[in-house]
Structure 1
């Protein structure tokens, strides 16, 4: 099945909110989803998933010492980048209360997986991600499309200055090299956010981050000579950034960019700005369920194993309502992302 056409910044006709006697379109869809039990918790699934991720995490550190002084450690560094990314995906599900109903265990679990094990601030990421969910792909309100290094719309390109204007000229070519630094960027922003008023538990989060990095650097430099230790850290952080970028980039990049003058109801605001990635169980595992981005944005607390069934229901519902529903294969979605980056940089290249 070919991918649907990429949305442009023009509001499609399907974006006009509609409702019938059964309430809003989203309310109608919610009733179908609820009737299937797709919002019910799946504790068994998350117990197994968390157990496997934690086993891989502690097993990796054991392997670090078991392998000893060898360049094969770089292969372990690559493997550990996958484990750290999976910790990030598990943090994501905890933050959305897919694992626990209640806020306290969700936050406690999130701080353990994010701050202590992964080295990323849960509070900083949660604040940023909540704003993204409220206004996906909104040029002014979504922090994930803020024109800091890259520009995500031609309007942003025309107004770009400084680093964003410099990078924007060739951002399609620089996107992957920049992802090599994303792991470091997460760590930097995590520590910087500790002074932010949005942080609810800055002392706790700061202590957990310090414990993480002391243990992280301590284990690596204890197990390996300095040269190999630095190489291990470089490979681990670079591939972590690549992995996370490849998971998150296809979800929204290249889809409808929302401007302040647009008026969209909740269902269309989420569906028109999101792209699903096809691929079956392997892609589901690698992307942690985020390949069902449409359904995740409509129902953020839906457990990962319910998303595939929810996608079939949502796809059929959108067809009934005439709402474009975008899904593509993994590589097709990447092509759309890079094509979008190239298009949006055009005003800078042409001097508009």
Structure 2
């Protein structure tokens, strides 16, 4: 089976100029159909609704009072915080406004103040991911602290405990996601307090402090300690799990690019990404991340246009003989779990396995 090198090299034409013009042709088609135009009505309705719904949830939380029924409130808040994070993701990618400053401030308000995630931390990490998805030593999303998604990572620091965890990481993958909420908050705090350049550092520190401290104070004022701790565990656990299952199907199990390899923009973004099939419900549940190929090719494309862009981009990729991967949601999870399980068990040829599974998954 071919690895990512043969996958790329088997495509017709190897001139850099041709690769550049290939994407330019696609971009022109997308612009001609108006799919890069702003959707102010769509986004303003969400920007107004998000804080209002959050305020209503918090009022309901206080009104319900000290009862175990609040665990349902915790679940609702977990879903709401994730949906607000998706909206902040759109703003950070300049999908909402023309003004970069407006997008930045919306991202900070939504991320730091409402969700408790640092915009500066996310921007630094996510920008590097978009530039080189699934590339060794370049994409931070494949350098995870516990789960190994590359053979190189799996062979590092294999103490007995970590070796056991990685040997069973396919089975443990989804349970570990319940800790992702705590990890996201902790990473945000570390980023704003660490040395190094960070625009609007003090704004982020103030917003994160108000969000995290204020939220904890409210929870422990309304709930007794026992219920409060369980409430926070449910809310943080479901928030992390929801975030994880929304982002996990996008790239994991797709080809990994060697650090010394250069791939043109179109193939770099398409071959390393995976779309998830589904209707409007999937679009809403995943915040548009199910159109990962379209999002990586056109990061500033407004979310409601991704569905319309998908068939255009899929057809264009077929014309250019570029593999366009699309699968069902649960099939994608199966691919991810089988892939990381093989990596954890010491599978060294991590480049060929994902391609074999994609062929079987998409028929």
TM superposition score normalised by structure 2: 0.90
Shift of 1:151: 1.2
Provide the residue aligned with 1:50 in structure 2: 47
Provide the residue aligned with 2:357 in structure 1: none
Per-residue CA deviation, residues 283-332 of structure 1 (Å, 9 max, x unaligned), is: 00011111000000000000000001111100000000110000111101
Per-residue CA deviation, residues 213-251 of structure 1 (Å, 9 max, x unaligned), is: 121011111111111111111100000000000000000
With over 3 angstroms needed to count, the CA separation of the structure-2 counterparts of 1:168 and 1:198, relative to structure 1, is: farther
Shift of 1:198: 3.6
Shift of 1:9: 4.5
1:129 aligns with 2:126: yes
Provide the residue aligned with 2:304 in structure 1: 305
Tell me how far apart the structure 2 counterparts of residues 82 and 118 of structure 1 sit (CA, whole Å).
11
Tell me how far apart the structure 1 counterparts of residues 304 and 169 of structure 2 sit (CA, whole Å).
35
With over 3 angstroms needed to count, the CA separation of the structure-2 counterparts of 1:308 and 1:8, relative to structure 1, is: farther
Shift of 1:147: 4.4
Tell me how far apart the structure 2 counterparts of residues 36 and 191 of structure 1 sit (CA, whole Å).
42
Gaps of 5+ in 1: none
Tell me how far apart the structure 1 counterparts of residues 304 and 195 of structure 2 sit (CA, whole Å).
35
Gaps of 5+ in 2: 349-363
Tell me how far apart the structure 2 counterparts of residues 22 and 16 of structure 1 sit (CA, whole Å).
8
Tell me how far apart the structure 2 counterparts of residues 179 and 147 of structure 1 sit (CA, whole Å).
12
Indicate if the aligned counterparts of 2:275 and 2:291 stay in contact, CA closer than 8 A. yes
Provide the residue aligned with 1:38 in structure 2: 35
Shift of 1:37: 0.4
Tell me how far apart the structure 2 counterparts of residues 34 and 78 of structure 1 sit (CA, whole Å).
40
Q: How many residues align?
A: 344
* TM alignment of 1:1-352, pairs within 5 A: 9-12=4-7, 13-14=10-11, 17=14, 24-162=21-159, 165-194=163-192, 195-347=194-346
TM superposition score normalised by structure 1: 0.92
Per-residue CA deviation, residues 6-50 of structure 1 (Å, 9 max, x unaligned), is: x95554023965678796211110010000000000000001222
Indicate if the aligned counterparts of 1:151 and 1:164 stay in contact, CA closer than 8 A. no
Which deviates more from structure 2 when the two are superposed, residues 193-202 or residues 259-268?
193-202
With over 3 angstroms needed to count, the CA separation of the structure-2 counterparts of 1:16 and 1:175, relative to structure 1, is: farther
With over 3 angstroms needed to count, the CA separation of the structure-2 counterparts of 1:205 and 1:11, relative to structure 1, is: farther
With over 3 angstroms needed to count, the CA separation of the structure-2 counterparts of 1:305 and 1:288, relative to structure 1, is: same
Tell me how far apart the structure 2 counterparts of residues 127 and 64 of structure 1 sit (CA, whole Å).
34
Per-residue CA deviation, residues 248-292 of structure 1 (Å, 9 max, x unaligned), is: 000001011111232210000000000001111000001111100
Shift of 1:87: 1.1
Tell me how far apart the structure 2 counterparts of residues 69 and 150 of structure 1 sit (CA, whole Å).
38
- Partner SS state of residue 217, structure 1: helix
Tell me how far apart the structure 1 counterparts of residues 311 and 131 of structure 2 sit (CA, whole Å).
24
With over 3 angstroms needed to count, the CA separation of the structure-2 counterparts of 1:152 and 1:327, relative to structure 1, is: same
With over 3 angstroms needed to count, the CA separation of the structure-2 counterparts of 1:282 and 1:93, relative to structure 1, is: same
With over 3 angstroms needed to count, the CA separation of the structure-2 counterparts of 1:22 and 1:267, relative to structure 1, is: closer
Which deviates more from structure 2 when the two are superposed, residues 19-28 or residues 111-120?
19-28
Indicate if the aligned counterparts of 1:18 and 1:25 stay in contact, CA closer than 8 A. no
Which deviates more from structure 2 when the two are superposed, residues 173-182 or residues 11-20?
11-20
